[in-house]
Amino acid sequence: MKGVFLSHKILPMVAGSWLIVAGAEGQAPIWSDEFDQVGAPNEAYWSYDLGDGGWGNNEIQTYTNDSANVRVEGGYLYITAQEQQLKGKRRSYTSARIKTQEKLTVRYGTLEARIKVPNLADGLWPAFWTLGRDFPEVGWPACGELDVMEMGSQSAIAEGLVNRRVGSTAHWEHGGGYAGYGLTLDAPTDLNNDFHVFRMEWTPDFVSTYLDGQQIWVIDISPGACTDCTEFHQPHFIILNMAVGGSYTGLFSYRDITATFPAEMVVDWVRIYDNGFTELSGSAIPGTEAHVEAINVGVSGRKRVRGTADVQVRDEKGDAVAGADVTVQFSGSFNETVTATTGGDGWAAFTTSGRVKSPSFQACVTDLVHPSMAYVPVDNVEECANF
């Protein structure tokens, strides 16, 4: 999404058309957002970039999280650029930029999005792209950037191809400076009349992009070909946005913008497929291993009391695990086995049926079953507690 610049100082080895990559047809995604809820984008997956200031590209819109600019409805994500009339015939613009930062990151894999762009003429700049997870620490371009799809470029405007030309670009740091490599593909017809699938294939050796299965661009990122491309071997997060104006479009003032508003970038789905190298991480990815994090014991009642236990279950990432069936064995003053299921906070509550005066007992977790996670007792922080 940064401006597309071709570095003449350092170019990676670029593979030719001999690279053949199979599509994802028939394969189940390992992660997807089908946008099947209503309202704001799923907060488990998406957050927002907010504000103005040009975003490093001289963009002239302000990004918001207002429903007028971003919403999910009828099975689609809508990113809507809006125009506001100001005094003196001046105009301002709002739009949206959503990202999976700190919620979902991917290293290698097949990334796809089915997108319908609006009429871009002239000044609209939709994009589907990724940034390196370490962006907050190292900044750009050291974090790396992979542009799966950008449209609305200055060259496309000049050549009357603004609704046909799709660009893909890699940006990275090289020798303390900037390096970039990008190409474009001109579709035979305008792309704003229907949905199209934009895909990126990312392996340890190559990154390539496609429009409806036709290759746009490919770059060799293997160590022998690209000696300073570590940015493309680190996890990235996904971004969807639509800018107004900016360096990519060559339009920097409201006076230059001729596009029709409101303008909607519509996304049917975003999917990630495993290509044999894929690694996913982040809070949106459920854990695969469960353990007991804590056990608290007590009593309930007055003269003759019942024994109680509260057990907390977490996964290997430290997140609460819901839906785990936990079995606790009470011994001592009570001799009972009780099973309960963890709630959304990862806690399950247990109470004995028997009552005693002045109890002394122990409660131990003897089993934990979850439909999609393995119980790993060696990771237990606690297994028993005494009262």
Region 206-224 average pLDDT: 97
The conformation of residue 138, written as its DSSP 8-state character, comes to H
Residues of the chain with CATH 2.60.40: 289-386
The conformation of residue 132, written as its DSSP 8-state character, comes to E
Q: How confident is the model at residue 94 (pLDDT cuts 50, 70, 90)?
A: very high
Region 194-198 average pLDDT: 98
Q: Which helix (H) or strand (E) holds 137?
A: helix 135-138
For the record, the structure tokens of 289 come out as 């291993």
Count CB atoms within 10 A of the CB of residue 30: 15
Q: Which residues contact 87 (CB under 8 A, 6 or more apart)?
A: none
Q: How confident is the model at residue 109 (pLDDT cuts 50, 70, 90)?
A: very high
Residue 24's pLDDT is 59
Q: Which of 150, 201, 231, 293 is catalytic?
A: 150
For the record, the structure tokens of 121 come out as 């003429």
Residues of the chain with CATH 2.60.120.200: 31-281
CATH 3.10.450 fits 289-386, yes or no: no
Residue 229's pLDDT is 93
Q: Which of 59, 83, 112, 145 is catalytic?
A: 145
Cα gap 145→5, rounded to integer Å: 13
Q: How confident is the model at residue 33 (pLDDT cuts 50, 70, 90)?
A: very high
Cα gap 372→261, rounded to integer Å: 46
Known catalytic residue at 145: yes
Question: Model confidence over 275-313: pLDDT tens digits?
Answer: 999 999 888 887 888 999 999 999 999 999 999 999 999
Cα gap 173→7, rounded to integer Å: 11
CATH 2.60.120.200 fits 31-281, yes or no: yes
Q: How far apart are the first and last CA of the chain?
A: 60
Residue 286's pLDDT is 78
pTM: 0.76
**325: preceding bond cis by omega (within 30 degrees):** no
